[in-house]
Structure 1
Amino acid sequence: MRTEGLTTAIEGVHDGEGRRIAIIFTRWNDEIISEMRTACLDTLKTQGVTKENIEEIIIPGAFEFPLTCTLAAESEKFDAVIALGCVIRGETPHFDYVAGEAARGITSASLSGNTPVIFGVLTVNTEEQAWQRAARDKDNKGAEFALAALEMAAVTEKLKRV
């Protein structure tokens, strides 16, 4: 917790020691997801999360996130849940339905309990845009989602004690 002036700021840290994290990822766009998953796992381990405290849950696609994230968040087994997926716009309105419902459902899952659920779903227009966000030699979003999960786990823990 930081104190600046007359206020106290609650701030999260990226310390993963003792943290239990669920990573829910899709089979759809599996090559892109695999890159984000690897970066996510590497980052969690670098920050002190042990292999035994990471549970991976594989689902078919992004439309299945709402139920799976809700069940994981409400289980109280995890300090944070990370939803990893990628929805690429196509020629039909399918993208709008899947991306929109995934976002709505993941938000709902996060609000359903006291466990933060990280929206780690790329919603892009092209496969090229997805790779720009998932390539190991660039700014891989999987690592960012891992850090966000640890930070939110710490913030949530602190807020529960206030």
Structure 2
Amino acid sequence: MSTYKIQASDYFKMAKNIKICTITSSFNSEYSFALEKKNTDFLKAQGFTNIDSYQVPGAFEIPGMLARLLKTGGYDLYLCFGVVVKGETPHFDYVCAEVARGVMNMTIQYPMPIIFGILTCNNFDQVKARISENYAIAGLNLLVEIVEKT
């Protein structure tokens, strides 16, 4: 297992050297890619420009891609984006639970910053509200606050 010893206070000093990857679900692409764009635009505004993007078919595939990327290393920050909307079957519950569990397992196994930017909403009105408001970059805002206070 790789270990990285990057302190939060070093992130902005090293912004140009930080390698970031995004993993985005193509399902509900209009919203997933809007979420990814909002976050990458935010990072670029902070000086982080070394960003690679990966796409997977659906949110369920995000943990698998995340695991492969973490095993090969090479990135300092991992961002996972997707949109899962509740339908009429229990499929929503299974997908949401397993995606959350899969990403959480990676955060436990690898000492790397991983942002869980996967929206799990009851309807598309909730999705639109969360993408148009600051919910979309809440995890990155928290990262900025931590960095500024250290």
TM range (shorter): 0.7 to 0.9
Q: Which of 80, 87, 90 matches 1:90?
A: 87
What residue is the counterpart of 2:38 in the other structure? 39
Residue number among 60, 63, 68 corresponding to 1:63 in the alignment: 60
Between the two proteins, the alignment pairs up a number of residues equal to: 139
Structure 1, 19-28 or 108-117: larger mean CA deviation: 108-117
2:8 pairs, out of 2, 8, 12, with: 12
Q: Which moved more, 1:94-103 or 1:61-70?
A: 61-70
How far apart, CA to CA, are the structure 1 residues paired with 2:139 and 2:98?
A: 20
Matched, 1:144 2:105: no
Mark the CA change 1:119 to 1:82 in structure 2 (over 3 Å): closer, same or farther.
same
Q: What is the CA distance between 1:60 and its match in structure 2?
A: 0.3
**Deviation for aligned residue 1:72:** 1.5
Matched-pair contact (CA < 8 Å) for 1:73–1:116: no
| 1:23 corresponding residue in structure 2 | 22
- Pair 1:49 & 2:48 matched: yes
Amino acid across the alignment from 1:131: K
Which residue identity does 2:17 align to in structure 1?
G
Give identity over the alignment, percent. 32
Question: In structure 1, how many angstroms separate the alpha carbons of the residues matched to 2:21 and 2:122?
Answer: 28
Distance 1:57 1:148, change over 3 A: farther
Structure 1 gaps, min length 5 = 1-10
Distance (whole Å) between structure 1 residues aligned to residue 22 and residue 128 of structure 2? 20
Equivalent residue, structure 2, for 1:81: 78
| Partners of 2:8 and 2:129 in 1: CA distance | 28
Contact in 2 for aligned 1:76/1:115 (Cα 8 Å): no
How far is 1:114 from its partner?
2.3
Compared with structure 1, are the counterparts of its residues 146 and 33 closer, same or farther at alpha carbon in structure 2 (3 Å cutoff)?
same
Letter of the aligned partner of 1:95 in structure 2?
A: F
- Displacement of 1:112: 2.0
Instruction: Give the SS at the match of 2:84.
Output: strand
Counterpart Cα distance in 2 of 1:83 and 1:49? 17
Task: Please report the RMSD computed on the Cα atoms of aligned residues, expressed in angstroms.
Answer: 2.3
Structure 1 residue 74: Cα displacement = 2.5
* Deviation (angstroms), 1:12: 3.4
Q: What secondary structure sits across from 2:37 in the alignment?
A: helix
For structure 2, the residue ranges without an aligned partner over 5 or more in a row are 1-6
Q: 1:149 to 1:45 in 2, by over 3 A?
A: same
* Alignment correspondent of 2:3: none
TM-score w.r.t. structure 1 length?
Answer: 0.77
Whole-angstrom distance in 2 between the partners of 1:149 and 1:25: 20
